[in-house]
Chains A and B, each alone.
Chain A
Amino acid sequence: MTEKLENKIFEPLFSIEGIENIEVYEEHGGYKALREALKMKRDEIIEEVKNSNLRGRGGAGFPAGMKWSFMPMDDKIEKFLIVNADEGEPGTFKDKYILSRLPHLLIEGMAITAYAVGIKKGYIYIRGEYEEYARILEKAIEEARRKKYIGKNILGEKFTFNIVVHRGAGAYICGEETALIESLEGKRGHPRLKPPFPANAGLYGKPTLINNVETIASIPAIIKNKGFWFASLGSQKNGGTRLFGVSGKVNSPGIYELPMGTNLKEIIYNYAGGIKKDKKLKAVIPGGISAPILKADEIDIPMDFDSLMKAGSMLGSGAIMVFDEDDSMLEVLRIMINFYHHESCGQCAPCRYGTDVIKKLVDKILNKEATEEDIDLIIQTAQSIIGKTICPFGDAVGMAVGTLVRKFKDEILDFLREENAES
């Protein structure tokens, strides 16, 4: 962070060479926010986070300050902080940039969070495939320990906080916070029934705060520039900027840090360079594969949690996937249901059985053995999973699959009517 107020948090830092090393990070104002935070009262920090309108960047968009305030403040109770770095929502690649380029921003954010909530031990649960980035984190943690930013008596204060990096092993469901806790306890990643919420009974049954990488990495900027500054960067009730990850049929795929509420159309055409080869836009998935798909005429929309929810989709992880006129929505459906079928943890019957039924119906379509009734049956089955499972995975299947089939039913029907064109 530089001294002047930037209107972005991550991009100015991304452009600094060697920023993953602690010396370079310090030269650019790194760990100053932690020094400031240690002089503040703990509830003042939480107040700043509340004022910032920072909402969970993992996908759910829950207000971070409120989540923090659910934690018991009694320091005699053992508490844990977990950073969710299990980035696995298809289409999502934003946290990778923070983990690999700004490990110290994350560590600084964790230390401030731990101080504010009274936590002595933090875990970074990172997806198993990100082995390379886990090593970068380990190195950064060691650097921070040597400089007394973490460890015992941080910066000479009576505050102790340690961090352990824990690698997952390839299971999408472990991005769900209670499945993540189970996984961190050495078990299969089966989501837990809530309540109790992790703030009451999380890791080893102790109060646990879980936040996404981007959420925690936003904390140092909030402390330095204050909560209202952060809130002012975004739209109403959606504070800050967002790392939007754009992929698919655009000229310049990549991450773009933009204010919350930036128009989706603008992101695709002004920032990501428009559609490749000047093809026609067909559809957009606005927040990772679980976010219900938008048709080309539905993308004139502000990218914040509330606007997308109103449009029947969700902002999710901010992962924007762009499809052009050549992309087959039936192929998207096939990939989508194979994904959900493979990743369902199997705990709840509606999800386990529902994904299986839909997969079989999609195979029937692909074999051209299906009728229009089968297509409707997919929509009905998808709908029947929603609200009937322990975790939001079931809702995601129901909404993402149901919406895709509803909006592109004609395309599927056309495919069925083709006279075995390919054989």
Chain B
Amino acid sequence: MKFLTGETEKTIKELMGKYEDPRSALLPILHTVQRDYGYISKEAIEEISEILDIPKVEIKGVITFYSMLREKPAGKYHIQLCRNVACYLNGGKELVEFLEKEYGLKPGTFTDNMKFSLSLVECIGQCEIAPAVQINDKFYGNLTPKKLKEILSKLEG
């Protein structure tokens, strides 16, 4: 049974055509699969391995090398909180404490309703608006626990 179908399959074909060597499409393909399915499953890895004709172990090696790629689901809203110098010394640490206290959200975990997940990441290029987080593809800066709560409440709907 084919696993990667419909739009995902179409996008993969398009991506492969952009490069002189189709293998270059591996990262974009993994991004696409993760976007469409929430994470990169065993089945997806097997099929990508066939499409690009590269061993599964190499794909696995690539996935584990890059921090944005995951083999397990994340929350509907995935929070990446910067733990580097500019953010952490300017209120980031308080945000981490707040998320644990208020939402029971520890780095690497989900909220019970699967709405939010959290990971601590290195610099996300938002140092001038520290402390900052990235939620899915959007950046939010100049945060306080109160502001973060407002943002998360809005997303929660």
| A residues lining the B interface (CB < 8 Å) | 87-93, 95-96, 121, 127-132, 164, 166-172, 183-189, 204, 245-249, 253-255, 285, 289, 319, 321, 323, 327, 331-332, 335-336, 338-339, 342-343, 345
| The 5 nearest A-B residue pairs measured at CB | A186-B26, A169-B66, A170-B67, A247-B127, A170-B68
- A173 nearest CB neighbor, chain B only: B65
Interface residues in B115-136 by Cβ distance below 8 A to A read 121-130, 134
Complex: how many Å from CA A167 to CA B67? Answer: 13
Let me know if B121 and A247 touch, CB within 8 A.
no
Check B127 against A132 for contact (C-beta < 8 Å): no
Binds A, one of B1-9, B82-90, B98-106: B82-90
Q: In the bound complex, do residue B84 and residue A185 qualify as a contact, i.e. CB atoms below 8 Å apart?
A: no
A91–B67 CB distance below 8 A: no
Q: Does B55 contact A (CB under 8 A)?
A: no
CB of A96 within 8 A of CB of B125, answer yes
- B20 an interface residue at 8 Å Cβ cutoff? yes
Asked if residues B21 and A170 are in contact (CB atoms below 8 Å), the reply is no
A169-B66, A170-B67 given as contacts; is B90 within 8 A of A248 (CB)? yes
Q: Which residue of B has the minimal Cβ distance to A80?
A: B20
Task: Select from chain A the residue with minimum beta-carbon distance to B130.
Answer: A247
Chain B residues in 8 Å Cβ range of A321 = 85-86, 127
Q: How far is the CB of B24 from chain A (nearest CB, A)?
A: 5
Q: Would you call A130 and B127 a contact (CB within 8 A)?
A: no
Residues of B within 8 Å of A343, CB to CB, are: 122
Nearest CB to that of B125 among chain A residues? A93
Given contacts A169-B31, A247-B128, A339-B122, A91 and B86 within 8 Å (CB-CB): yes
Report chain B residues within 8 Å CB of A249.
Answer: 90
A206 to B, closest residue via Cβ = B20
In the bound complex, what is the Cα–Cα distance between A127 and B126 (angstroms)? Answer: 13
Knowing A248-B89, A289-B84, A339-B84, say if A92 contacts B128 (CB, 8 Å).
no
Contact of B128 among A128, A132, A253, A323 (CB under 8 A): A253
B residues lining the A interface (CB < 8 Å): 18-21, 23-28, 30-31, 52, 54, 58, 61-62, 65-69, 80, 83-86, 88-90, 121-130, 134, 137-139
Complex Cα distance, B58 from A327, in Å, reads 43
**Chain B: which residue is nearest A127 at the CB level?**
B125
- In Å, the complex CA distance between A289 and B125 comes to 12
Q: List 6 A-B contacts (CB under 8 A).
A: A167-B31, A170-B68, A172-B122, A188-B62, A204-B20, A253-B128
Distance (whole angstroms) from the CB of B120 to the closest CB of chain A: 10
B18 contact set on A, CB distance < 8 A: 164
* A interface secondary structure, majority: mixed
Q: Is the CB of B25 within 8 A of A186?
A: yes
Q: Given A170-B68, A187-B62, does the pair A131, B130 have CB atoms closer than 8 Å?
A: no
| A128 near B68: Cβ-Cβ < 8 Å | yes
A184 touches B66 (CB 8 A): no
Cα distance A327–B90 when bound, in Å? 9
Return the contact of A246 from the options B30, B69, B122, B128 (Cβ within 8 A): B128
CA distance A323 to B88 in the complex (A): 12
Min Cβ gap B30→A in Å is 7
Q: Is the CB of B23 within 8 A of A186?
A: yes
Give the distance in Å from the alpha carbon of A95 to the alpha carbon of B30 in the complex.
25
**Among A129, A184, A336, which residue has its beta carbon within 8 angstroms of that of B125?**
A129
Taking a contact as CB atoms under 8 Å apart, the answer to whether A167 and B27 are in contact is yes
Is the beta-carbon distance between B84 and A335 smaller than 8 angstroms? yes
Q: Are B127 and A327 in contact, with the CB atoms below 8 A?
A: no
Q: How far is the CB of A355 from chain B (nearest CB, A)?
A: 14
State whether B138 touches A184 (Cβ < 8 A). Answer: no
Measured in the bound complex, the distance between the Cα atoms of B85 and A247 in whole Å is 10
| CB pair A189 B125 closer than 8 Å | no
Distance in angstroms from B64 CB to nearest chain A CB is 9
Contact A129 B124 (CB under 8 A): yes
Whether A131 contacts B137 by the Cβ 8 Å rule is: yes
Give the residues in chain B near A96, CB-CB below 8 Å.
125
CB <8 Å contact, A87 and B125: yes
